[in-house]
Chains A and B, each alone.
Chain A
Amino acid sequence: MLYQQIERNKRKTFLVMLVFFVIFALVGAGLGQLMWDKPLPGVLTAGVIALVYSFIIFQDPISVVMSMNHAQELREEDNPQLFHVVEDMAMVGQIPMPKVYLIPDQSPNAFATGLSPDKSAVAVTQGLLDMMNREELEGVLGHEISHIRNYDIRLSMVALVLVSAISFIADFAQNWMWFGFGGRRRDDDDEDGGSLGMIIGVIGVIFTLILGPLAASLAQMALSRNREYLADAGSVELTRNPQGLISALRKIENSQPMQAANSASASLYIEDPVRRPSLSHLFDTHPPTEERIKRLEQM
């Protein structure tokens, strides 16, 4: 089951990147059409920007995600107990020791990130350390280590980085369009580009406008909620003790939501840090806690 999940995650990661580059090229085409009446220079510019952006981010993606979530790296002396628990879980999970980060927030929560088990990191909030005993910490970190083993971290990292880029461009493009419409539009002589370029351009323009919601649903598609159940099961496989995770989930559920949660990275956390109104269950990033506890109790 672990291997299937790893394969599925690697496939999906590739797919997400592919879709991202297609979207990016279309946006480039749209902007090119608007700015220069030709899609091609837009596509090229977008391509170069995408490459440079990916290159910069993937140099050290962990630091990027950690600073998005205001997390600081911990050393062993800072919190030996936390370090020892992470060590234990990494040992039974048979992965190298991840880096450990602390988020100064009073709400209990945690997440894991990285591109592969060889280079990964876990982050916990101050609230988690204050509220959980050792057994509960093991449950939570077992869950995070399972995400690392499953390559869930790679998929969610890539989705997060790309979705942030797309929503940045979508904002930019929308602002620019409201400003720049009309002024730029001269009567074109239909010289090059032709009708095909025109069609691609129009698709691109429409795309740019609906981009934000599109990116969000793309991320939703990629990050199935099933992986939380799988990581819960993985945690029990490591700790052989469902009780720790059950009581940790209860405590997290009954606590305040996080103050400075970065909503783009909400899906990384063990429990949704934002707490949306219950109407929009369709867009939940996490399965309901009750259901997770029920499944843990059956183990």
Chain B
Amino acid sequence: MVAGIIIAVLLVLIVVYYISAYNGLQKAKVNTEESWSQISVQLKRRNDLIPNLVETVKGYAKHEKETLAQVVELRNQLTQVPAGNREETMKISNQITDSLKTIFALSENYPDLKANTNFANLQEELTNTENKIAYSRQLFNSSAAVYNKMLVVFPSNIVANIHHFTKVDYLDIPEEETKAPKVSF
């Protein structure tokens, strides 16, 4: 009788643990997906801003056609990347960041352009999206770390194995950004 009760209690405890571990894994996974979608939103926003920037800069800086063409090219490449390919997306995104940096550095040579309020607004908007990309990437990596840890720690790893939860890859942070501050053009 007593043994029966003990076994029943143990079984209930195991089932309760199993359910909560499964839910915990699902939640952690959803968290990483949510933070990825935050990144996507910012990437899309930046892609929408780039044509405006190019239009504005073109009028003032006629000699910078190549740089401008390059950023438009990268922008179009980014829209071609299949939705699931995070690594490729971030690789192109980092290249866009670099070429935007170049454009804003070049703008120093054109005082009329710098004085244009439209340009100043765009500069702030783009700086804002760049920073948001960097911060949501940071958020993505920390939620991925929480999730990945659950996959290897006993006993949640058993539940993870049964339901085929797989590891989420971290997003690389560009070398110079690991020590330098976030972008300020």
Contacts and interface: CB of A to CB of B under 8 A. Distances in A.
Interface string B117-136: 00001001101100110011
A91 B139 contact: yes
Given A80-B124, A88-B131, A88-B132, A138 B139 contact: no
Contact of A134 (B121, B135, B138, B184): B184
Given A241-B182, A243-B181, A244-B181, A134 B127 contact: yes
A135 B139 contact: no
Contacts of B138: 92, 240
B139 A241 contact: no
B181 A241 contact: yes
A255 interface: no
Nearest to B177: A240
Interface of B is mostly: helix
A200 B100 CA distance: 73
A92 B128 contact: no
A164 B3 CA distance: 63
A139 to B, nearest CB: 9
Interface of A is mostly: helix
Contact of A84 (B121, B131, B136, B139): B131
Given A91-B139, A240-B138, A80 B184 contact: no
B182 A138 contact: yes
Contact of B135 (A80, A88, A133): A88
A135 B124 contact: no
Contacts of B132: 84, 87-88, 91
Contact of A92 (B125, B127, B139): B139
Given A135-B182, A135-B184, A241-B181, A84 B128 contact: yes
A134 B183 CA distance: 9
A6 to B, nearest CB: 18
A241 B125 CA distance: 22
A81 interface: yes
B100 to A, nearest CB: 16
18 contacts: A80-B124, A80-B125, A80-B128, A81-B124, A84-B124, A84-B128, A87-B128, A88-B128, A91-B132, A92-B135, A92-B139, A135-B181, A138-B181, A239-B181, A240-B138, A241-B181, A241-B182, A243-B181
A134 B135 CA distance: 14
A241 B182 CA distance: 8
Contact of A91 (B121, B136, B181): B136
A239 B132 CA distance: 12
Nearest to B124: A80
Contacts of A135: 181-182, 184
Contacts of A240: 138
Interface in A243-296: 243-244
Contacts of A84: 124, 127-128, 131-132
Interface in A77-104: 80-81, 84, 87-88, 91-92, 94
Contacts of B38: 91
Given A84-B124, A84-B127, 4 more contacts: A80-B128, A91-B132, A92-B135, A92-B138
Contacts of B135: 88, 91-92
A53 B139 CA distance: 42
B160 to A, nearest CB: 24
Interface in A129-151: 133-135, 138
Contacts of B184: 133-135
A133 B185 CA distance: 11
Interface in B116-172: 121, 124-125, 127-128, 131-132, 135-136, 138-139
